[in-house]
C-alpha cells in the first residue's frame, strides 16, 4: 500500500488545517485549537488518517474506516511519537474512548485513569506514575489530618492566601499543588513564584511543583466527546480519580480544601462532583472535602478573574486591596513591559 505520511505545522498552513479538520468532522471528531503539529496519512492524494500533537498530548487520531486493520493507526502513532521525541517531549499522554485502548496499548501506552465507558487517559510508560508517587511519598508529614489544595492562582490573590491560611490552621500539614499547563493568562513559572511569595510565613505547607497528573481543564480534550456537559464530567472523573487513587495515598492526604464558588457555574459544579467522588466509599480511603467561604473585600469576593479584569483596565488602586504586595509589584512591572513592547 503506497501510503504517504506528511508532517504539517498547523499554525503555518491554515489551508491544510482546514482540510484536516474537515476529515476529522467526517468521523465525528474535530481539530482542537491547541494542536500544534499534525501527521497526515495520504493515499492517492486523499487524506485517509491523521493525528496531532498538543504539548505532551497526542490527540485527534482518526483513520478512514475502509483502511482499518491495515496498520495505518500504528504508523500514525509511531510517527507522532517520533515527532514528539524530536521536540524533546518524551513523556506523552493521550485521551481516547475505552474501546480504542487496546490499539494504543500495542504502541506502548498504558491506561492510568478512566471515566466510565466514555474516556480513558493513557501514558507511554508503565512505571512513570508509580515513580512520581514514590517521589511524592518522600514529602509525607506526620499527623492525623493532612490537607491538600490544588490551585491555578491566575494570579495569586489575598483570597488564595486566606484559603491556604485557613486550611493550614485546620491541618497538621498542608500540601499545595499548582496546575502546571501554560493555558492561563499568567505563565506557570510566574504563578509558582507568586504563590511561593504569597504563602511566606505559613510554616506547615509544602508547595509541590506542577505535574501532568494534576490535569488542567483548559487542556482536557473534547474532540471525541461532543456534549460540553459530558466533557466537563469526564474531566472531573479523571482528574479526581488520579488525585484520590494515586496522589492522595502517596501523601496520606485526608482532607481537600476548596473555596466556595458564587460566580462560576463550572467551578461550582466541579466542587460538587469533587465532594461526590472523593467522599464516596471505595478501594482507597475517602477524602473529606472542606468548602470554605470566599473572603470578600471592596464589595465582592476576591477572585483571580476579578483581578485580571482590573489588570486589563490598569486599575492599580482597585487591585491593591485584593492581592499581596508581591503580586501587585509583578502586575505593575508586567504592564510596563507590555507597554514597552506594544
CA–CA dist 173, 140 (Å, integer): 9
Claim to verify: residue 20 and residue 159 sit in the same structural domain: no
Say whether pLDDT at 15 is over 70.
Answer: yes
CA–CA dist 334, 162 (Å, integer): 25
Claim to verify: residue 42 and residue 175 sit in the same structural domain: no
Q: Last residue of a domain, which of 70, 98, 126?
A: 126
Q: Residue 300 in 3-state DSSP?
A: strand
What the block records as the C-alpha cell of 30 is: 474535530
> What average pLDDT score do residues 205-211 get?
94
Q: Phi and psi (nearest 5°) for 38?
A: -135, 150
Claim to verify: residue 211 and residue 82 sit in the same structural domain: no
Residue with cell 511519598: 137
What pLDDT is stored for residue 278 in this prediction? Answer: 98
Say whether pLDDT at 314 is over 70.
Answer: yes
Claim to verify: residue 177 and residue 279 sit in the same structural domain: yes
Cα torsion through 86, 92, 95, 100, rounded to 10: 80
Q: Last residue of a domain, which of 126, 152, 185?
A: 126
In the chain, % helix, strand, coil (3-state, to 5) comes to 45, 20, 35
Q: How does DSSP classify residue 243?
A: I
What pLDDT is stored for residue 218 in this prediction? Answer: 65
* Most confident of the following: 33-37, 129-133, 224-228: 129-133
Q: Last residue of a domain, which of 68, 91, 126?
A: 126
Predicted confidence band at 30 (pLDDT cuts at 50, 70, 90)?
Answer: confident
Claim to verify: residue 253 and residue 193 sit in the same structural domain: yes
CA–CA dist 56, 91 (Å, integer): 7
Q: Phi and psi (nearest 5°) for 68?
A: -65, 140
Q: How many residues does the chain have?
A: 342
What pLDDT is stored for residue 300 in this prediction? Answer: 87
> What average pLDDT score do residues 147-158 get?
96
Claim to verify: residue 219 and residue 244 sit in the same structural domain: yes
What pLDDT is stored for residue 82 in this prediction? Answer: 95
Q: What mean pLDDT, rounded, does the chain reach?
A: 92
Predicted confidence band at 1 (pLDDT cuts at 50, 70, 90)?
Answer: low
Claim to verify: residue 212 and residue 84 sit in the same structural domain: no
Q: Residue 312 in 3-state DSSP?
A: helix
24-38, 57-71, 188-202, 282-296: segment of lowest average pLDDT: 57-71
Claim to verify: residue 192 and residue 219 sit in the same structural domain: yes
CATH number at residue 242: 3.40.50.620
The closest alpha carbon to 169, from 206, 141, 205, 194, belongs to 205
What is the number of domains present in the chain? 2
Predicted confidence band at 238 (pLDDT cuts at 50, 70, 90)?
Answer: very high
What's the gap between Cα 88 and its chain centre? 20
Question: Do the Cβ atoms of 168 and 202 come closer than 8 Å?
Answer: yes
What's the gap between Cα 127 and its chain centre? 20
Question: Do the Cβ atoms of 240 and 220 come closer than 8 Å?
Answer: no
Give the tens place of pLDDT for each residue, 94-116: 988 898 898 899 889 999 999 99
Say whether pLDDT at 29 is over 80.
Answer: yes
Say whether pLDDT at 248 is over 90.
Answer: yes
CATH number at residue 122: 3.40.630.30
90-104, 139-153, 325-339: segment of lowest average pLDDT: 90-104
DSSP E strands in 188-275: the ranges are: 205-208, 255-259
Residue 25 belongs to domain spanning: 4-126
What pLDDT is stored for residue 223 in this prediction? Answer: 66
Q: Phi and psi (nearest 5°) for 125?
A: -160, 140
What pLDDT is stored for residue 136 in this prediction? Answer: 97
Claim to verify: residue 40 and residue 166 sit in the same structural domain: no
Predicted confidence band at 181 (pLDDT cuts at 50, 70, 90)?
Answer: confident
What pLDDT is stored for residue 2 in this prediction? Answer: 79
Amino acid at each position: 500500500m503506497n501510503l504517504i505520511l506528511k508532517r504539517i505545522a498547523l499554525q503555518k498552513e491554515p489551508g491544510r488545517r482546514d482540510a484536516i479538520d474537515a476529515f476529522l468532522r467526517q468521523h465525528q471528531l474535530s481539530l482542537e485549537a491547541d494542536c500544534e503539529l499534525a501527521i497526515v496519512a495520504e493515499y492517492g492524494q486523499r487524506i485517509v488518517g491523521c493525528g496531532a500533537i498538543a504539548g505532551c498530548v497526542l490527540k485527534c487520531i482518526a483513520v478512514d474506516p475502509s483502511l482499518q486493520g491495515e496498520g495505518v493507526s500504528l504508523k500514525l502513532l509511531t510517527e507522532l511519537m517520533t515527532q514528539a521525541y524530536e521536540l524533546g517531549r518524551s513523556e506523552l499522554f493521550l485521551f481516547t474512548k475505552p474501546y480504542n485502548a487496546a490499539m494504543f496499548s500495542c504502541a506502548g501506552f498504558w491506561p492510568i485513569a478512566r471515566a466510565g465507558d466514555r474516556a480513558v487517559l493513557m501514558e507511554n510508560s508503565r512505571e512513570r506514575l508509580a515513580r512520581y508517587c514514590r517521589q511524592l511519598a518522600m514529602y509525607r508529614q506526620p499527623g492525623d489530618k493532612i490537607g491538600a489544595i490544588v490551585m491555578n492562582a491566575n494570579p495569586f490573590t489575598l483570597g488564595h492566601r486566606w484559603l491556604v491560611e485557613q486550611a493550614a490552621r485546620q491541618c497538621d500539614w498542608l500540601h499545595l499543588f499548582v496546575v502546571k499547563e501554560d493555558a492561563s493568562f499568567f505563565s506557570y513559572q510566574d504563578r509558582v513564584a507568586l504563590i511561593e511569595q504569597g504563602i511566606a510565613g505559613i510554616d506547615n505547607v509544602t508547595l509541590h511543583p506542577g505535574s501532568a497528573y494534576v490535569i488542567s481543564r483548559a487542556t482536557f480534550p473534547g474532540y471525541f466527546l461532543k456534549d460540553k456537559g459530558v466533557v466537563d464530567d469526564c474531566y472531573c472523573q479523571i482528574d479526581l480519580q488520579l488525585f484520590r487513587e494515586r496522589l492522595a495515598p502517596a501523601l496520606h492526604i485526608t482532607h481537600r480544601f476548596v473555596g466556595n464558588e458564587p460566580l462560576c457555574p463550572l467551578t461550582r459544579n466541579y466542587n460538587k462532583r469533587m465532594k461526590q467522588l472523593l467522599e464516596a466509599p471505595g478501594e482507597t480511603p475517602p477524602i473529606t472535602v472542606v468548602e470554605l467561604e470566599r473572603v470578600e473585600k471592596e464589595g465582592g469576593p476576591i477572585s483571580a478573574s476579578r483581578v485580571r479584569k482590573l489588570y486589563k483596565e490598569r486599575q492599580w488602586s482597585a487591585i491593591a486591596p485584593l492581592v499581596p504586595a508581591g503580586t501587585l509589584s509583578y502586575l505593575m512591572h508586567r504592564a510596563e513591559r507590555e507597554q514597552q513592547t506594544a
